[in-house]
Amino acid sequence: MKNLKQRIKAGETVNGCWLNLGSPLTAEIVGLAGFDWVLIDLEHGAGGETDIAAQLQALQHTPTTPIVRVESAASQRIHRVLDMGAQGIMCPKVNNAAEAQTVASGMHYPPHGTRGVAKMVRATAFGRDFADYYRDARENLLGVIQIETIEALSHLDEIAALDGVDVLFIGPADLTMELGIFGQFDHPKFLEAVHAIVKAANNANKATGILFFNPDDYQKYHNLGIRMIACGADATFVADSARTMAAKLQSARDVPQS
C-alpha cells in the first residue's frame, strides 16, 4: 500500500482532488499529474460501484493514493470498495460518534471492527497477499469523516477521539448550507466552525481536511492547520480547459482578416 496515512499522521500536508467522471482514463491522467491522493466519488460522481475497480486499476501504477467516498455508512458499501483496493474511505454527512463508529468499524476486520473477511479479492492480490494485508490494514487504511452538519459540530470531540477516525474533513458547501450562509466561506459562522473542527482534530492528534474551489485559498486554510487539502476535480479540469480553448478559438475567429 501507499503511505498516505503515515504521511498524514506525521503532520505532512497532502494535496488531492476529486474524481467524479467515473472514468479510468481521467483517473489515470489525474493520478499521473502529481497529486498525493484522489477521491473517487460515489456520492455525487457520475460513476457507480461497477466503475470503481477500473479506476483503481488505472491508479495503481501512479504515485497517487485512491480514496473512495461511499454514499453512506452501510458496512457492505465500505467492504466492497475496500476489497476492490481502495486505500481509504470517506463518508459524508456523519452526525455523531455512533455514526462515525459505524464507519470506522466497517473498515477493519475483527476484533477491531466488523469488516467481512474475503481472501480472493483485488486488495489482497486475490489471496496472495492476504496475510500482509490483514496485518497492515489498520496502519494503512485511512478513515475520513466528513463534517457537514450542525449536529456534527456538537459532537466534534467524540468523533475525533474514535480509533479508526483519522481525518475530520470539512464539506464547505453542505456545511454553509446547513448554517444558512450557503457559499459564504468568509462568513464568521463558517470560520468559527472551521476553527472548532481543527481544534477538535488537533486535540485528538488527528488531521483536518477540506475541499475548496479556488487555489488562491490554499494558504488561508493551510495557515488554519488544515493538512489534507483538495481542490478541483477531473470534471472541472476538463470543463475549464474546454471552455478556455473554445473561447480562444472564438476570439481568434472574431479577429478581422487582413
In a domain, 72, yes or no: yes
Three-state secondary-structure class, residue 212: strand
In a domain, 199, yes or no: yes
In a domain, 258, yes or no: no
Burial 28-56 (b: 16+ CB within 10 A, else e): bbbbeeebbbbbbbbbebebeeebbbbbb
In a domain, 139, yes or no: yes
Q: Give the CATH number, domain containing residue 133.
A: 3.20.20.60
Burial 142-168 (b: 16+ CB within 10 A, else e): bbbbbbbbeebbebbebbbebebbbbb
Instruction: Indicate the pLDDT class of residue 171, thresholds 50, 70 and 90.
Output: very high
Q: Residue 165's pLDDT is what?
A: 98
Mean pLDDT value across the chain: 96
Instruction: Indicate the pLDDT class of residue 254, thresholds 50, 70 and 90.
Output: confident
Mean pLDDT for 15-26 is 98
Q: Are strands 65-69 and 167-170 parallel, antiparallel or unpaired?
A: unpaired
Instruction: Indicate the pLDDT class of residue 236, thresholds 50, 70 and 90.
Output: very high
In a domain, 95, yes or no: yes
Instruction: Indicate the pLDDT class of residue 1, thresholds 50, 70 and 90.
Output: low
Residue pair 251/243 in contact by the 8 Å Cβ criterion: no
40, pLDDT greater than 70:
yes
In a domain, 190, yes or no: yes
Q: Residue 258's pLDDT is what?
A: 66
118-148: per-residue pLDDT in tens?
A: 999 999 999 999 999 999 999 999 999 999 9
In a domain, 184, yes or no: yes
Tell me the sheet residues that pair with 10.
Answer: none
Mean pLDDT for 63-87 is 94
Q: Residue 101's pLDDT is what?
A: 97
Give the chain's domain count.
1
Three-state secondary-structure class, residue 217: helix
> Domain range holding 107?
4-252
187 is catalytic: no
In a domain, 257, yes or no: no
Tell me the C-alpha distance between 228 and 207, whole Å. Answer: 7
